[in-house]
Amino acid sequence: MPSSTTVKKELPPLHQILIIGSGGRENALAWSLSKCPDVKEVWVAPGNAGTNQHHRCSSLEIGEENFEELLKACKEKKINLIIIGPEDPLAAGLSEKFRDQGLAVFGPSTEGAKLESSKAWAKTLMNEAGIPTAKHWTTNTKKEALEVLNGLQKALVVKADGLAGGKGVTVAESINATAEAIYDTFEGKYIPPSEQVVLEEKLEGPEVSVFALCDGKEMVILPTAQDHKRLKDGDKGPNTGGMGAYAPTPLITPEGLENIKKTILEPALNALKKKGIDYRGVIYAGLILTSSGPKVIEFNCRFGDPECQALMPLLGPELAKVLQACAHGCLELAPELSTKNICSACVVAVAPGYPKSPRTNEEIKIDLQTSDNLQIFHSGTKMDKQGSFFTAGGRVLSITAQAESFEEAFNLTYKGLLEINFEGINYRRDIGHQVRNS
Ligand code: AMP
Ligand code: GLY
């Protein structure tokens, strides 16, 4: 090539996006990406009743396990970018199936998804990379686990090794409760029996969520967020998928975030690379801010739900190109991701009986008008032939609002929730208590 010619590498056009998943996270992603320049259509498979409520977003009635139909849809719709939302299809290898067909996918392969799908594997990786995390013991039998407990003589956190839909972790309050959790996890009392069980030292401090968008080598860090995992006000009641979130959290300063990048996220990506894993997707670090610094309690291989709903309204219109660049392994070709310097609040409305046995099929009345700073993101919803909405899952929908202060943002959110009604609607009244005055 003549030396006078400059080779201008650039990302391919990005007009058609396919998101896989059916939750609030995917609904928020679709809403956000549909507003990015050049994006003409965002398809969500299977999506929910909220998908078509967003301009230029449409559901495709194809399940995430139906690869042949998904592939057919990708060809028909000339999809330029696939984003896989939940952990199950990632762990099951959906990314590599699409990549083998030459498609651009945002979401790690089965090997990369082990960050989330195997706690023991993730712990080994953290130790190898020197990433600060709770001290742990991987055990293969009940006997071995009980011996560890007897030796330590203190309450521990007991974790099933594999994916357990948020039900695999017990933070035990006593030695007896730890022993009980060891029995239950090995024997599969609440989830399928676990072959390996990770015991962990209990960490103290506030929990935060940090997200890195990775292209295999480099990363872009998103604003930080705080989730609220317990069902009831005052962080009481059983663990849930997440009852609400806010972003960014003032608990982490810009310097603190830089430190988390250097000591946790970059070492994780480098360790994956060293194992030959070309990690293109989200690294979600669940951290506890302990008195001796931030420590990892879990890595996930996807966006958090509902953190994603709180985060999306803060991200600039470059997001689609950034995710596309990650999928192509060349973040250097993406524009810089801008973020809005405002406060975002998200509260999730859940069905009665959630999380144990949510009652569904209740009609949902929505009298709320959305605006530039107020969004409705559907999770477990469906629509009947007449166009009425019905509940179809434990977490039903969330209201998200943005304002100059968290006080104002949460006021808007809670006012919005008064315009949403279904039989037995339940939501926490204290989401964002960390950043609100009242
Ligand atoms: P995980 O699925 O690993 O995030 O665990 C679920 C929840 O258990 C977390 O959100 C924490 O609230 C809690 N947890 C997990 N590991 C620890 C730990 N080592 N110390 C204290 N709490 C923990
Ligand atoms: N919000 C917690 C999670 O997505 O795992």
CA–centroid distance, 200 to ligand 1, in Å, is: 9
Would you place residue 8 in the very low, low, confident or very high pLDDT band (cuts 50, 70, 90)? low
Query: pLDDT value at position 128?
Result: 96
Please identify, by atom number, the ligand 1 atom nearest to the C-alpha of residue 166.
Answer: 2
- Residue bearing the CA closest to ligand 2, atom 2: 304
Q: How far is the CA of 304 from the centre of ligand 2 (A)?
A: 4
Residue 434 falls within a domain, yes or no?
A: no
- pLDDT, mean of residues 56-68: 96
Which ligand approaches the C-alpha of residue 126 most closely? 1
How far is ligand 2, taken at its centre, from the CA of residue 41, in Å? Answer: 27
Mean of pLDDT over the chain: 96
Q: At residue 2, does pLDDT exceed 90?
A: no
Question: Is 127's pLDDT higher than 90?
Answer: yes
* Domain contains 437: no
Which of 25-34, 130-139, 159-168 is the least confident region? 159-168
CATH at 321: 3.30.470.20
Domain boundary among 280, 310, 333: 333
Q: What pLDDT is stored for residue 194 in this prediction?
A: 82
Residue nearest to atom 3 of ligand 1 (CA): 298
Are residues 42 and 92 located together in one domain of the fold? yes
Supply 338's token pair: 């801008």
Ligand showing the shortest atom-to-Cα distance for residue 123: 1
What pLDDT digit, counting tens, does each position of 160-218 carry?
Answer: 999 988 788 999 999 999 999 999 999 988 778 888 999 999 999 999 999 999 999 99
In a domain, 372, yes or no: yes
**What pLDDT is stored for residue 22 in this prediction?**
98
Predicted pLDDT of residue 191: 79
**pLDDT value, residue 190:** 76
pLDDT over 80 at 223, yes or no: yes
172 alpha carbon – ligand 1 mean position (Å): 11
Protein residues with CB under 6 Å of any ligand 1 atom: 134, 157, 159, 169, 171, 200, 202-203, 207, 229, 286, 297-298
For residue 422, the CA-to-ligand 2 centroid distance in Å is 24
On whether both 187 and 213 belong to a single domain, the answer is no
Q: Is any ligand 2 atom within 6 A of the Cβ of residue 216?
A: no
On whether residue 3 sits in a domain, the answer given is no
pLDDT in tens, 319-345: 999 999 999 999 999 999 999 999 999
DSSP E strand stretches across 272-426: 280-290, 293-300, 343-350, 363-366, 374-378, 381-383, 389-391, 395-403, 420-421
* Crossing angle (nearest 10°) for helices 119-129 and 110-117: 100
99 and 185 assigned to the same domain? no
pLDDT category at 6 given cuts 50, 70, 90 is low
Residue 283 has a pLDDT of 98
The tally of domains found in the chain comes to 4
Give the whole-number percent of the chain exceeding pLDDT 90: 94
Cα–Cα separations (whole angstroms), residue 104 to 12, 80, 92: 10, 7, 18
Could you identify the atom of ligand 1 that is nearest to the CA of residue 159? 3
The pLDDT of residue 438 is 64
Neighbour-count burial of 295, counting CB atoms closer than 10 A to its CB (0-12 exposed, 13-18 middle, 19+ buried): buried
Please, which pLDDT band fits residue 292 given cuts at 50, 70 and 90? Answer: very high
353 shares its domain with 375: yes
Q: For residue 248, is the peptide bond before it cis, meaning its omega torsion is within 30 degrees of 0?
A: yes
Q: Which atom of ligand 2 is nearest to the CA of 300?
A: 5
Task: Among the bound ligands, name the one nearest to the CA of residue 227.
Answer: 2
pLDDT for 5 = 58
The rounded Å distance from CA 8 to ligand 2 centre is: 39
Return the bridge partners of 246, or none. Answer: 226, 345
Same structural domain for residues 226 and 311? yes
Residue 379 sits in the same domain as residue 310: no
- CATH number of the domain bearing residue 394: 3.90.600.10
Q: In the structure, what pLDDT confidence band is assigned to residue 139 with cuts at 50, 70 and 90? A: very high
Rounded to two decimals, the pTM is 0.96
Is a pLDDT exceeding 80 seen at residue 143? yes
Domain with 95 in it: 16-106
For 313, which DSSP code?
G
374/417 same-domain check:
yes
What does the pLDDT look like over 345-375, one tens digit per residue?
Answer: 999 999 999 999 999 999 999 999 999 999 9
Residue 3 above 70 pLDDT?
A: no
Are 208 and 172 contained in the same domain? no
Give the Cα separation of 412 and 403 in Å (integer): 9
Assess whether 31 and 92 both reside in one domain: yes
| Contact between residue 131 and residue 295 where contact means Cβ atoms under 8 Å apart | no
Give the CATH number of the domain where residue 79 resides.
3.40.50.20
Q: Which ligand 2 atom is at minimum distance from the Cα of 307?
A: 1
268-285 pLDDT tens trace: 999 999 999 999 999 999
**Ligand 2: centre distance to CA 243 (Å):** 10
Q: Are residues 243 and 284 in the same domain?
A: yes
Task: Tell me how far the alpha carbon of residue 280 lies from the centroid of ligand 2, in angstroms.
Answer: 19
